[in-house]
Structure 1
Amino acid sequence: MRALIALALMGAVRCAPATAAPVQLSGEGWRVELSREAGTFDLLAQPAGEAEFVSLLRAGGERPWYGYNVGSAEGRTSESTPTVEGDPERGPLRVHCELDPDHAVTHEAVYYLRPEGLVVVSRFGSSALTPEGSIVRFAPKLDVDLSLLTHYAFVDAEGRRHQGAVMDLGERNAYAGVGAWEPGRDVVDRLNAERPYMLLYNPERAVSLGVILPLYESVWREAGSFLQMYQGGFNFWYTGFAPMSRLRGERIVILYLRQSGSPEGIEADAPRLCREVEDGIQRGEIEAPEVREMLAAAAAFDPEAEALSARLAEEPPTGAAWLALEMLRVAREWAERDPVEALDLLLRGKAELEGSDM
């Protein structure tokens, strides 16, 4: 993976004045303006043949945020005053927010700039997470301008592309994507593992906004990513969320900002970008220690499981052997959901068996 470009930032910021200019990150035909007053941002694009940039977010709508819900609706969001840290020479840019000071819940978004957009490492920290939480927005929730982003596209698990005009989805509430709150005209169970993207675009003005969920099978398999045309004119795009039970760990999302009037570009780029993200994590170019630990555990699990299974086949039916066999069975059930916990259980089963030999 080519070297990641450090993001410009004029020093660390805490409690910036109300007039502070946003931190601007940009590429060809796109610009992201990160607020210094809240852990949110604006997304802008330059339509083909036009001089001015336009916001891809709904005018007067909800600002993008990371966070989670408690109860049925109340949110813990990244709209608090952030700490922003970065270095234009060494990068990357970190935006750190307190979501729930009473429970020490924090969120950090780490932005890496690429020609295609932004690679974002999203992580939550908590010493005592509120138990009534529901879902976690690892990728930002957006309120998009559907008068500008008029079409959608994504690929399902079987490799079929779904696309069409947003307004053809029907009256509000209308959905498109994966993991929606309720059935919709174009809702599927899972995205394609090789091309885990969703794109909103305008074929006439050649503007677009996409999200790619790298390491889809490993860290996003239980995730939702869908557009909801909600009551009251809200156009919510839940770009990537997971159940509260999966709060442990980090997630990585790519905000795909290369401008296009069709899905061909993101569909061609998604497999390469996903590989580059994984390679960047393995090499330490992208700082994501918990994802890296998960990848290492997933790689180690099958050889360890096969070795323990082979040994158990030769063991006499002792209590230790029975316990190790049961731990192996449960570990295999956990392996896809949480390889770190699964490997730990497997190694404890191995230790139990070895302890009985002493």
Structure 2
Amino acid sequence: MATLISSPAGLARADFQLDSPLKNRRIVVAMSGGVDSSVVAALAARSGAEVIGVTLQLYDHGAKAKRVGACCAGQDIRDARAVADRLGFAHHVHDHESRFRDTVIDQFADEYLAGRTPIPCVRCNIGVKFTDLFQLAKELGADCLATGHYVRRVMGPAGAELHRAVDPARDQSYFLFATTQEQLDFLRFPLGGIEKSVVREIARDLGLGVAGKPDSQDICFVPDGDYATLVKKLRPEADDRGAIVHVDGSVLGEHKGLIHYTVGQRRGIEIGGQAEPLYVVRIDAAKKEVVVGPRRALAVSGARLGEANWLADVEGREVLAKVRSMAKPVAARVEGERLVFAAPEYGVAPGQAAVLYDAADASRVLGGGWIEETFAAEEV
């Protein structure tokens, strides 16, 4: 059972899983400009290894570059460089703004236009952060790539495994389900067993200016959380009005644009005079319809997964499935492309990820996939 490091005295366990002596090793640290990656860099430097910090510039314009809680923009790059200067290691900045726009921001807008609920931070991890940083670290001759994510890399009988962080309040494993085995072999996550308060304490002890910097937000490129304005700017048709249709086929009214709705939503539907509360059951982008119904209409028996990434064999295995980042994992099984729930699940939205954990060891991430479609509970 992994234990949580709740004081700096326990930091000897925050290792980089490299053979000693580390003075002969080169560690590339992905630096976002926040306190977590800065402390990872500090721990790497303390180990005696050669450290190279790398920051990807993902955007640097307007409010997004200045907003508290953003990452990888103007001030964040300056913060990362200040940490590198204070700790005495090299720091590189690479401009990936165009790739970030193409693979994350545009895809985010396209998903809403298609009536789906996207998770841009996972797309960023899949492409820009892990794939691009992985290649950069290799080109720099690194022995590993270390990040400030709160997950754990555990060596199992068959090699490196991905596990939840010891602190459940900080766990980011849901967002890293698409990490490939090749990437996992090279990645290191030294904060997976450390309490956040300890991370900030280390930063304060080292005199790092980022010690009190707020945590980054999930959608870092959306100022003030107003994603609808961004999507309307990129895909104006996503704001077109259309019909709100009951699951029984009756038209109840007009919606304000598909971008304002997601499966499972109750507030904001603005349809009165109903015998029971209404929820968004599905979104038909082709017809520009928002289909609503009572809560029981949300029940699904399973989902079809696309772009699956597996870190272990899951066919016929008892698993725990998490279908939203804040959802409680539920019992399920995998049958080909279909994820089948042991009991009906509610509010499962296409565009979200289904992340699977081992039922025998609930901390271990087995992989997951994108929810492409769902199957009503009565189909079982």
Q: Compute the TM-score of the two structures, normalised by the length of structure 1.
A: 0.29
Q: Compute the TM-score of the two structures, normalised by the length of structure 2.
A: 0.28
Q: Which has the higher helix share?
A: 2
Q: Which has the higher contact order (CA 8 A, sep 6+)?
A: 2
